[in-house]
Amino acid sequence: MKRSRALTIAGSDSGGGAGIQADLKTFTLLGVYGTSVITSVTAQNTQGVFAIHDIPTNVIDQQIEAVLSDIGTDAIKIGMLSSKEIVKVVTEQLKQYKDIPIVLDPVMVAKGGSPLLADDAKEEIKKELFSLATVITPNIPEAEVLTKLTIKTVEDMKKAAEILIELGPQAVLVKGGHLVEEAVDILYDGKHWITFPGKRINTKNTHGTGCTYSSAIAAELAKGKELQKAIKNAKEFIQMAILGADELNIGSGHGPTNHWKYLEEKGLEAWN
Ligand X SMILES: Nc1ncnc2c1ncn2[C@@H]1O[C@H](COP(=O)(O)OP(=O)(O)OP(=O)(O)O)[C@@H](O)[C@H]1O
Ligand Y SMILES: Cc1ncc(CO)c(N)n1
29-65: b (≥16 Cβ within 10 Å) or e: bbbbbbbbbbbbbbebbbeebeebebbebeebbebbe
> Of 28-36, 80-88, 202-210, 222-230, which segment contacts ligand X by CB under 6 A?
202-210
Q: Is 16 in the site for ligand Y (CB under 6 A)?
A: no
Nearest to 156 by CA among 138, 172, 136, 140: 140
Q: Report the C-alpha gap between 195 and 176 in whole angstroms.
A: 11
- Residue 104 β-bridge partners: 78, 136
In the list ligand X, ligand Y, none, the entry touching 176 (Cβ below 5 to 8 angstroms by class) is ligand X
Q: How far is the CB of 242 from ligand Y (least distance, A)?
A: 14
> Of 58-66, 80-88, 204-212, 217-225, which segment contacts ligand X by CB under 6 A?
204-212
Alpha helices in 57-128 (DSSP H): 57-66, 84-94, 119-124
* Contact characters 115-144, ligand Y, x per CB under 6 A: -x----------------------------
Q: Is 210 in the site for ligand Y (CB under 6 A)?
A: yes
In the list ligand Y, ligand X, none, the entry touching 42 (Cβ below 5 to 8 angstroms by class) is ligand Y
Site residues (CB under 6 A) for ligand X, limited to 227-256: 235, 238, 242
CB-based contacts of 97, cutoff 8 Å, min separation 6: 68, 76
Positions in the binding site for ligand X (CB under 6 A) = 18, 111, 139, 175-178, 183, 185, 198, 200-201, 206, 208-211, 213, 235, 238, 242
